[in-house]
Each structure stands twice: as C-alpha cells, then as structure tokens.
Amino acid sequence: MKNRLLSLLCVLCTLVPTTLAQGLKDAYKDYFKVGVALNVGNLTPDQEAIVVREFNSVTCENAMKPVSVHPERGVWDWAQADSIANFCRRNGIKMRGHCLVWHNQFSNWMLTDKKGNPVKKEVFYQLLREHIHTVVNRYKDVVYCWDVVNEAMSDDGRPRRWGEAPNPYRESELYKLCGDEFIAKAFEYAREADPNALLFYNDYNECDPGKSQRIYNMVKKMKDAGVPIDGIGMQGHYNVYGPSMEDVAAAIELYSKVVDHLHITELDIRANEQMGGQLQFSRQGMEIKPYVRTLHEDQYNSLFRTLRRYKDKIDVVTFWNLSDKDSWVGTSNYPLLFDKDLKEKHVYYTVRDFDPALDNAVVIEDFKPSELNQPGQEYPMVNSQGYARFRVDAPQARSVIVSLGLGGRGGTVLHKDKDGMWVGTTEAPMDEGFHYYHLTIDGGTFNDPGACNYYGSVRWESGIEIPAHDRDFYANKNVPHGRIQEVLFWSESTQTVRRAMVYTPPFYGEQVGKKAKKPVQYPVLYLQHGWGEDETAWSRQGHVGLIMDNLIAEGKIAPFIIVMTYGMTNELKWGHMQEFDWTAFQRVLMDELVPYIDQHFTTIADRDHRAMAGLSMGGMETRMATLARPEMFGYWGLLSGGIYEPKDLEGVMAPRHIFISCGSKEFGDRVNAAVESLNAAGYKATGYVSEGTAHEFLTWRRSVREMAPLLFK
C-alpha cells in the first residue's frame, strides 16, 4: 500500500524496460517446451492467438479421452479431437496425446458384454488394443507422445481391507479385472501402433514421497519386464501450500533414475488444498486475498526455478487450461497465468521474465544480525552481499511472508525448516540502507519480534539495515554531539498540543568559558517526513542528528537547528489526494510552530536563516508551503518529493537556493532537467541523485548530507 501510494504521489515509477521475450515458449527455448491443455471452447481467434504466441505443445483437455472419442461400442466421435488437432497441424504445433487408459472418462463399455456382464480380460485386451491402435494411428502425424496409462497408483498406500497388505495400485475396475497387467498391455499396444511416439505413465500427487515411491517401483518393475515406458508424466496439480520444492526436486531425481523423459503434464497452482474434480463446487464465493496471491506467485516462481534447474531432465511443462476462465478447478481458484479475461497476471511475467543470473546466484554464508535488531536477537540477518535472511517462530501458522521482496511480488515467502521454524532469504541482494517491513502470518499483519520498530506506513513497522558502503557519514562517532529534544507546543488552529523533535547542534545553549556571553543564534531548517511517517522518522531511521554532528565536526557546515514535526499527512486516504487540505499544516507550521521556535530557541528569525525541506509527501508539502508563503523561507528542498520548474516561480519571491534530489531508481532525469531549467532561468538550484537507491531512507540521508552545506550561505 505504502509503495503504491508513494509511487503515485511522486510520479516516481521508472519501470526499467528490459528486452522481453515474445512468449513463454521463447523465454524457455533453452529449457523445455511450454504446453497448454485446450478444449474446443478455446478455438476462438483471440485464444488461438495466445496459444500460438505462448505455447509449443498442446494437449486435449478431454477430447482424446476414451469416453470422448469412443463413447460406445462401434461408435467413434472425432469431431472435437479433430478440430484441436487440425488447429495444431495448421500452426505447426505438436501434441501430447492424453490419454489411452484411465479409470475415469473411460470407455467403460469395454469392461462388460452386450448383456452387461463382466467380460474376460482377454476380451477386454482385444477391445483395448483396437481402441489404442485406432486413436494413435489417427493422430500419428501430430502427436509426439502419449499418456498411455493415467493414475493407476493408490493415493495413500494403506491396506484396503483389515488384515491385508497395502496395495500400491488403485483398485479400479481395470485393476480388478486384470491386476497390473493392463498397464503392460496398454504400453505394448501403443508401441505397436506408433513406434516413434514417446510413451508415458501419468499421475497426480506425484511429488508426495510415498506416492512417488509407488510410481517409481511400478515403472521400474514394468521396465525390468520389458514394458516400453519412456517417461513419467508429473501432473502438477499443486496449490499455494505445497508441494515443497524439496519434494518436487526429490521426485524429479527419483523418476529420472528409471526414465529418460519427464513431462510436467497438467500444471496448475490453486489457492486451496482441496484435490480432485469437485473443486468447482467448493470454491463458491472464494476470495483471493492479497497474501494468497503472494503465496501463489511465490509457488510458481519457486517451481519454475526448480524446473529450470532440472532442464536436462524435463522436456515440457504443460499448463492445464489456458486461463482461469475455463480452468477445471474454477476461476476463483486463481490457478493459471492468464486471468478470467485472458489477460496476463503479474505471475505470468514472473514466470516468463526470469533472470538466469538469479538462478545461478551464490549466496555467501556470512550472515550477521541486522544492526537494528532488538537486544540479543539473531534474526533478521544480513550478509555481505546484501541478502536478508529471516527466521520466525510460528508453530501453528500456515504461511509466513516477509513484506520485503523483489519484482513487486509482495515479499519473501518463508518455509518451515526441519526444526519447524519459518525461514527464508530474499531472492536477491537488497538495496543498501534502511527498509521498513512486516510479517504477514496467515493474512494478519505482525512485526518481526527480532527487529526494532520504526514509524512508517502509518504504523510502527519492523526495520532492517543493509550496511551501505558509505555509511560513515551517519556513523555514531566520538565527535561532539548535538541533542534531539521533544517539544510540545499548543496549536490554536487545531486546538491540540502538538509535538516537534528539535535538533540543536553541539554546545547549543552551553556557556563556553567562564564569562556569560550572549547566546549564539542559529538558523533553522524545518524538515518534513513522508506519508505514513511522523516526527520521529528523520532522527531515528534518518539519523539526521548524526549526519549533522559529523558534518559539523568535519567543518563542512556551520551549525544550525533542525525542527521536525508531524506533517498531518497520514489521514490521506488512498485515491483521495485531491481532497488533501495542504493549508491546515501550513497554518500549524508557519503561524504556530515557527513563532514558537523563534520564541523558545535562540534562532535568527528571518527568511534568510530559515529553510524548509521534506521527503516524499513532505517534499510536496514543502513545495506547496514555499510557493504559498515564499517570504517565510529562503532555502527550499525537495527530497524525492517532486520538482520546481521556472514557471512555478513566476511572480513568486525568489528563493536563495533550491535543492532537489531523489534516488537513481526514482526520477533522476526529471530532477536533473528541472535543476538545469531553473539554473537557465537564473535561479540558484542544485540537484542530487543518490546512486543505487530508491524511495527509501538512504536516499534521504545522503540528500541531507548534500543539502546541508548549501543552506544559509
């Protein structure tokens, strides 16, 4: 929320255009094919265009299943399968055939005779052989592999009946008639029909350690007996909570010991844990909460990262359906990369525009506790590259997300380690400097008990510090230090007691030497925080006092006072910027606080010794206040808070110096252009762009360091 608001407020968003791949198939051309399951409803011009752009393998969702093509004895219905196959033929897309034998959507008539009595297995085999030969032959030119047998293994591996040994096989009608021999027969018939097609055993829950072992054992047994099984199809009907990537990797490793070809055949990642074909009915009214979207995107991201790692073992990854609109698990299960209106979701880009460098990144294991941790707390940790690692104790939680992350994906999803602790490391190094964050545990917002809290996003957020290479300028050193005091003042306009934090430089108010001298008078900078923050931000996360002390100690600036008060920014509601009353704060600041400060501190109470600056929304307040009452302040500073242009200053009492800054990940070009045009128009203006930083406090700490020497000259 905060990031969204800030980016809107300051028109900061400079999206870096990268050279983008055309479609999924192009992005993954060096890894594996990317496929999609289609039904005839997908054969519309708009959907066909997506298929052609994105995919290089197609599976019929239902149209080639026995019940579809061979509903009754002697009755063949090719219409739907033909139209999908013809679409593929026209577009040069090869198909995965799905499927020849399954306990569901099967030609059940094969199992009984005309009178309805069970047939002998020899009779069944004859019918099955004819079926397989007919279907395989019809699509030989376009189908490169077949799911020959689907879902023949048991889910739980438990005994069916009291006192019996567990049966690794599903006790389907097929199994009851033939035992596991029907599996061998089906593969033999398929190989006879098309010696060139790759033949697959296909199943779900295939990453479950128990079931993957049953699948492996069966395929091993069959292959040892000479059954022509070329590959294992991992269906990939996953959800936001599982499987773990450890289980996915273990299944891939296991299966690749027995077959040379692994296909992910039916990938979707749904928002809940239910299984099976009845999902459409239980999803009613389901709302996808933002944290579930984050889990969803993370699961896709982690999965594709894992699959890329195993590109030598995996030939194709097929999505089960094109868009959420016609997903078999229902639109509101949010399962696919395209939404119900066929638009790419954010997760589509995460999957497509992956960074191979991140896949191969080596994280150096020199993590140390963040310097902002609570006393004695080990986590969060930071390493020398800028990775952050989190560890949270939440034994009963279903999901833990840290709001820090990359690529707008909503953060870093933690996973339970073997000790039951939730742990995770950011996917890439973070920017140097200070970051706010919080935890989202099962959708609720919490602070990290390891970290200290800092006011931002209209709440006390957890904070973490990635040590910056130039952190010396705000280091706490053995130099004379100023003081930051809390000042409570009465505001007539708001009828409230208000608070300001006031920095006075070293030796302020102290009588140096024995003889009482006239107190030194100081200029004053009024310095505003951003949206979501308050009057504590600049001194705590901004380290403004230390920055001043160090600049003074180095003789880079003459001492001055800094006054920081609450800018009344936090009542602003999302989308209601227009309604924000800029004048309420102007009254408090200029009619109440400035006179109070001039009365209670030894200041030089004139325009040439008074400055106003602010970060982000505090910059916008500075801009409004200085343009409205230019006689109040001689020095104006905008820190990631917009710009002044010469036209803004027409007819306005000219400032003595303008300072404009931002981070290099913000709108540096606009800052530089504005400063140039101000200089050209005869104004004294200085710009600064903080290297490698965004809309965060390291930008503003550095900005104060750059701005302070320019003030009151």
- The contact set with ligand XIL (CB under 6 A) reads 61-62, 150, 204, 235, 266, 277, 328
Pairing of strands 453-456, 444-446: unpaired
Q: Which member of 327, 332, 399, 616 is catalytic?
A: 616
Residue (of 512, 547, 526) closest to 615 by Cα position: 526
CA angle, 448 then 451 then 454, to 5°: 100
- Taking the least distance from each CB to ligand XIL, the nearer of 136 and 572 is 136
Distance CA 107, CA 102 (A): 9
Contact predicate 257/216, CB 8 Å: yes
Distance CA 525, CA 530 (A): 16
| Residue, CB closest to ligand XIL | 328
- Taking the least distance from each CB to ligand XIL, the nearer of 37 and 708 is 37
Residue 266 bears catalytic tag: yes
Residue 99 CB, shortest distance to ligand XIL, in Å, is 6
Contact predicate 283/332, CB 8 Å: yes
Q: 514: phi > 0 → left, psi -120 to 50 → alpha, else beta; which?
A: alpha
Distance CA 301, CA 556 (A): 49
- Taking the least distance from each CB to ligand XIL, the nearer of 65 and 610 is 65
- Taking the least distance from each CB to ligand XIL, the nearer of 166 and 277 is 277
CA angle, 347 then 350 then 355, to 5°: 170
- Taking the least distance from each CB to ligand XIL, the nearer of 121 and 170 is 170
In three-state secondary structure terms, 462 is: strand
- Taking the least distance from each CB to ligand XIL, the nearer of 183 and 500 is 183
Residue 52 CB, shortest distance to ligand XIL, in Å, is 22
Residue 49: what residue type?
Answer: A
Residue 72 CB, shortest distance to ligand XIL, in Å, is 19
Q: Describe the strand order of the beta sheet including 433-437 as a list of residue ranges.
A: 433-437, 459-466, 453-456
Residue 150 CB, shortest distance to ligand XIL, in Å, is 5
Q: Tell me, letter by letter, the H, E, C secondary structure of 107-161.
A: CHHHHECCCCCECCHHHHHHHHHHHHHHHHHHCCCCEEEEEEEECCECCCCCCCC
Residue 233 CB, shortest distance to ligand XIL, in Å, is 8
Residue 96 CB, shortest distance to ligand XIL, in Å, is 11
Residue 674 token pair: 């504005």
Q: Which residues pair with 153 in a beta bridge?
A: 169
Residue 327 CB, shortest distance to ligand XIL, in Å, is 8
Pairing of strands 314-319, 368-369: unpaired
Contact predicate 340/325, CB 8 Å: yes
Residue 172 CB, shortest distance to ligand XIL, in Å, is 14
Q: Which member of 54, 61, 206, 266 is catalytic?
A: 266
- Taking the least distance from each CB to ligand XIL, the nearer of 321 and 699 is 321
Distance CA 524, CA 502 (A): 10
- Taking the least distance from each CB to ligand XIL, the nearer of 105 and 302 is 105
Residue 71 CB, shortest distance to ligand XIL, in Å, is 15
What sections of 272-362 are H helices per DSSP? 279-282, 290-309, 346-352, 356-359
Contact predicate 495/512, CB 8 Å: no
- In angstroms and rounded to an integer, the radius of gyration of the C-alpha atoms of the chain is 33
Q: Which member of 54, 151, 432, 465 is catalytic?
A: 151
- Taking the least distance from each CB to ligand XIL, the nearer of 187 and 560 is 187
Q: Which residues are catalytic?
A: 151, 266, 616
